[in-house]
């Protein structure tokens, strides 16, 4: 997958005088961009939605790395991050993996400062009840639910958008054919897309392609094992070499879903 911070893709709002008309324009642009991205991701060799979300997640992480400098402390984005309580466990460690130590220290110090204030506000006597009831910020920091994480929320929103758009794309026979040749949706996304489908024939199409795609992955995985030893290992195809990754993603979706 490619990488890099793509920045704000839709800056139309800033240039317009009419919020209402721009709102419609933006929706149209977003749909068009999503449509193109989804079709392109049929050739990613993996679940098209997982492939797009992995890229979005990386772009999002890069965005936050760009916001992590100490001089950006007063930015609206930083205030939003602080108000939410920071990232979830998974995204905080992913963020740490690509940010500088200074960026992590800057965001870390701000969140610690907030934690100190919250703890002091409750005081020792009130603490046990506050913890037990998961009051306020403790709910986010108990790591029981990731709804506070801005990146998780952003990815969930995009996931919904992509799944809806895919149901529109798959009404076109030529795209259906391309989708059939791909590795198709992972099982978690196959389950989720059903929420957006009303057309029974589309469910039948997805069901049949899913079985064929899984059969292809299974056969490649079995072939890979059979070609484990030399001289057969030199005859492993690219699809066989990727079968272990595709099998896992097919079952549980991308890492971090
Ligand atoms: Zn997926
Ligand atoms: Zn998260």
Centre of ligand 2 to C-alpha 256, Å, is: 9
**Complete DSSP assignment for 104-146:** HHHHHHHHHHHHHHHHHHHHHHHHHHHHHTT-THHHHHTTS--
CB-CB neighbours of 107 under 10 Å: 27
Asked if residue 246 lies in contact with residue 183, where contact means CB atoms within 8 angstroms, the answer is yes
**pTM, two decimal places:** 0.83
The pLDDT tens digits for 170-212 are: 999 999 999 999 999 999 999 999 999 999 999 999 999 999 9
Centre of ligand 1 to C-alpha 22, Å, is: 32
Burial class (CB in 10 A: 0-12, 13-18, 19+), 69: middle
Q: How far apart are CA 143 and CA 90, in angstroms?
A: 10
- The 8-class DSSP code of residue 185 comes to -
| CA-to-CA separations, 190 to 48, 100, 184, 236, in angstroms, rounded | 11, 37, 9, 29
| CA-to-CA separations, 192 to 25, 96, 196, in angstroms, rounded | 28, 30, 8
CB-CB neighbours of 250 under 10 Å: 24
- Per the document, the length of the chain is 257
Residues around ligand 2, an ion, CB closer than 5 A: 88, 91, 149, 151-152
Centre of ligand 2 to C-alpha 87, Å, is: 5
Q: How far apart are CA 31 and CA 9, in angstroms?
A: 13
Question: Which span out of 27-31, 51-55, 117-121 was modeled with the highest average pLDDT?
Answer: 51-55
The pLDDT tens digits for 209-254 are: 999 999 999 999 999 999 999 999 999 999 999 999 999 999 999 9
Centre of ligand 1 to C-alpha 14, Å, is: 34
Centre of ligand 2 to C-alpha 33, Å, is: 24
131-134 CB contacts, 8 Å cutoff, 24+ apart: none
Domains of the chain by residue range: 12-252
pLDDT confidence of residue 33: 85
Mean pLDDT to the nearest integer, 28-55: 92
Token pair for 204 = 């039948």
The pLDDT tens digits for 116-130 are: 988 888 888 888 887
């Amino acid at each position: 997958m490619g990488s890099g911070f793509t920045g704000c893709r839709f800056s139309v709002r800033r240039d317009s005088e009419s919020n209402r008309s721009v709102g419609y324009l933006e929706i149209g642009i977003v749909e068009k961009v999503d449509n193109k991205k989804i079709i392109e991701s049929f050739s990613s060799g993996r679940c098209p939605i997982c492939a797009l979300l992995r890229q979005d997640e990386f772009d999002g992480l890069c965005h936050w790395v760009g916001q992590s400098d100490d001089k950006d402390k007063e930015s609206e984005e930083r205030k939003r991050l602080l108000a939410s309580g920071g990232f979830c466990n998974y995204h905080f460690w992913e963020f740490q993996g690509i940010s500088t130590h200074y960026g992590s220290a800057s965001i870390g110090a701000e969140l610690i400062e907030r934690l100190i204030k919250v703890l002091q506000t409750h005081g020792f006597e009130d603490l046990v009840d506050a913890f037990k009831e998961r009051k306020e910020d403790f709910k986010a920091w108990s790591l029981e639910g990731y709804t506070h994480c801005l990146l998780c929320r952003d990815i969930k929103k995009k996931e919904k958008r992509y799944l809806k758009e895919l149901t529109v794309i798959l009404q076109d026979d030529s795209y259906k054919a391309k989708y059939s040749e791909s590795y198709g949706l992972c099982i978690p996304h196959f389950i989720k897309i059903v929420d957006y489908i009303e057309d029974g024939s589309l469910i039948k199409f997805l069901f049949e392609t899913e079985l064929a795609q899984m059969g292809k992955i299974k056969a490649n995985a079995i072939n890979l094992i059979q070609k484990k030893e030399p001289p057969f290992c030199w005859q492993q195809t690219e699809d066989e070499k990727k079968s272990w990754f595709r099998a896992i993603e097919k079952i549980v979706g991308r890492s971090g879903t």
